[in-house]
Structure 1
Amino acid sequence: MLVIKEQAGRHEVPFWFDPLCPWAWITSRWLLEVEQVRPVSADWRIMSLAYLNLVQREGKGLSDEYRQMMTNAWGPVRVCAAAAEHSGSSVLGPLYTAIGTRLHNHRRRDDPTVITEALAEAGLPDSLASAATSTEFDQRIKDSHDEAFNEVGLDVGTPVLRIGGTALFGPVVTPAPRGEAAGRLWDGLVMVAGTDGFFELKRSRDRKPSFE
């Protein structure tokens, strides 16, 4: 029997993200749509693609370009960890939205002002931007990351969400379904998450991420 944790009459859905991942960003916007049409509340949590690919997978099979991107990926998630330490985990949702909108919708991946702008939008001090180059909060990142990946395994990436007691990679979808279409996708995930022994559905992607 699938049991989903409830908070104030809504089903709480832990969702692990790395701010750099465009697919996690699209899925996160879908989950916000689900909140509008189903009794669901997102519980935003951090994971790290850098930790996954460079440490846990030991960088195997990575091109030099992708390895450098992973090294750079430490910055935004470290800032998220510092923000959660400073103001509590409830700040992760607003901060993720502020960072993700700039990185993905506005395509400002190489703009160093993204982090300070996002911190300001989320009502956080710009001093937290210095966490991007510090290892001070790395253990917090790893603890949150491991909570998800100890369940879902290391052969997947992000997004990861948990429905009831079942952690799943995905859904990977583009663009984000809206309105009742978002709700129907949620209903399907609840069904598969409640199926004992269910592991995987997959097909090759035939399009790039769309942030519309």
Structure 2
Amino acid sequence: MSTVDMWFDPKCPWAWIASRWLLEVEQVREVGVRFHVLSLAALNEDREVEDWYREWLDSAWEPARVAKAVEQNHGPDDLRAFYTAVGNRIHLERRPLDQGLYLDALTEAGLPTDLADAAKDTDLDDAMRAGNATGLGPVGEDLGTPAIHVTDDDGETTAFFGPVVSPTPRGEAAGKLWDGVLLVAGTPGFFELKRARARPQVT
């Protein structure tokens, strides 16, 4: 069985779709998925970005901190449950990013609700920067989420950014995409395959 480690920002819609795809892949391929936090706000804090994106990033600190607190204090299984709970509220229900959202997501995931206080805890930011370095080190610091590392039975790891896909592939379609992504990502010297986004984002 291959181990798949995915780094996500809770607010990133493309990471959310990729995460749902990986959960589908688990059902049709011999893989086990683990999730980790990657903060796009921390990644871009010293970069010049457009005003609309800076506003988007400023609001991304809090959910990433709460997710990081879950990861640090409760481990990958609880982080996985929290990501599903918080992601459904952010990306499907379109709820505002506030304390109520974090409390509801933590409750659904069976986690202590006082973890919601982490939203304002800037002491977590260094841990998020370290997590960014771990997730993006083998991929490229100029990229972001989703970042995926695949480790096979021999301990060999292939790392890449993406895929950016919409809507979420389901069932065997998810497996076929997985097979193709592994094929191109495992090709030495392969860097990019891209086309314009011609359809609206669907989760």
Q: TM-score normalized by structure 2?
A: 0.92
Correspondence list, 1:1-212, <5 A: 10-54=1-45, 58-63=46-51, 65-110=52-97, 112-164=99-151, 165-211=157-203
Gaps of 5+ in 2: 152-156
The SS at the match of 1:136 is helix
> Considering only aligned residues, what root-mean-square deviation do their CA atoms show, in Å?
1.3
**Deviation >3 Å, runs of 4+:** 109-112
Question: In structure 2, how many angstroms separate the alpha carbons of the residues matched to 1:186 and 1:38?
Answer: 9
The SS at the match of 1:120 is helix
Does the aligned pair in 1 maintain the 2:6–2:146 contact within 8 Å? yes
Question: In structure 2, how many angstroms separate the alpha carbons of the residues matched to 1:155 and 1:86?
Answer: 29
Does the aligned pair in 2 maintain the 1:15–1:160 contact within 8 Å? yes
Amino acid at match of 1:161: I
Does the aligned pair in 2 maintain the 1:116–1:129 contact within 8 Å? yes
Amino acid at match of 1:155: D
Q: Per-residue deviation at 1:69?
A: 1.9
